[in-house]
């Protein structure tokens, strides 16, 4: 692995190991998710000027009013999406810089990710290409509509806060699948929706803060 991926100083493997210790202390217990978090170098996905802060538990700006979520939130959402089971097909709403898609690529066989901001699509594709990640397909589209052409999904993860659950996403969830998303305009709650053979079960698992979910493309 070249120096850009392995990192030096505040982006080194030792710094990443400290991040894992913190995630464990914060309650992340899924070893598959922890391994994925360790495998994906977060500093690759942020601007070079911010790379020394890449492994702090903070969100960082990636341009266009968007952020890369803090490591704990990424790990928590992926852990909830997995629910201790294998994922064949996952859908991400809000690719951003591609970091969460990269983490998902380590826990799912196929990942489809939708982004509505064209310049971020280019950035994400470049980052994923550098990482030689081949099981993620990034689409330029309105994430509120999901991606029906590849449905159903075992897991859907939304990186933006919705005021209601888009019915298209519920329709694209496989039986036994899980949708993880922030809900609410002000006080946002991380919400898990599980599809059963009898319908949908919804659970709130804590407060979060995300940019709002917007429709359309730009």
> How distant, in Å, are the alpha carbons of 7, 19, 83, 164, 213 from that of 152?
38, 33, 17, 20, 21
C-alpha count within 13 angstroms, C-beta hemisphere, residue 149? 6
Angle at 97 between CA 39 and CA 99, to 5 degrees: 20
For residue 173, list its beta bridge partners.
153
Tell me if residue 135 falls in helix, strand or coil. coil
Catalytic entry in 6, 52, 59, 69 = 69
Instruction: Find out whether 138 and 131 touch, Cβ atoms under 8 Å.
Output: no
Q: Is 69 a catalytic residue?
A: yes
Residue with tokens 């959402």: 77
C-alpha count within 13 angstroms, C-beta hemisphere, residue 206? 9
Nearest to 184 by CA among 164, 202, 203: 164
Q: List, by residue number, the catalytic residues.
A: 69
């Amino acid at each position: 692995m070249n120096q850009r991926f392995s990192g030096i100083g505040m982006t080194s493997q030792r710094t990443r190991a400290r991040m894992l210790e913190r995630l464990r202390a914060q309650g992340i217990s899924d070893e598959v998710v922890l391994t994925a978090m360790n495998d994906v170098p977060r500093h690759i996905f942020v601007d070079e000027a911010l790379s020394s802060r890449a492994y702090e538990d903070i969100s960082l700006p990636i341009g266009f009013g968007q952020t890369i979520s803090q490591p704990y939130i990424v790990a928590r959402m992926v852990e909830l999406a997995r629910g201790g089971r294998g994922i064949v097909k996952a859908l991400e709403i809000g690719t951003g810089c591609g970091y969460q898609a990269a983490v998902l690529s380590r826990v799912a066989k196929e990942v489809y990710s939708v982004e509505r901001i064209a310049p971020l699509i280019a950035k994400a594709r470049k980052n994923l290409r550098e990482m030689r990640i081949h099981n993620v397909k990034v689409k330029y589209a309105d994430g509120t509509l999901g991606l029906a052409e590849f449905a159903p999904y075992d897991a859907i993860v939304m990186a933006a806060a919705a005021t209601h659950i888009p019915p298209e996403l519920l329709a694209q969830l496989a039986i036994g699948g899980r949708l993880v998303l922030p809900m609410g305009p002000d006080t946002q709650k991380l919400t898990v929706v599980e599809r059963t053979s009898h319908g949908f079960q919804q659970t709130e698992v804590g407060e979060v803060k995300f940019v709002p979910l917007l429709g359309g493309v730009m």
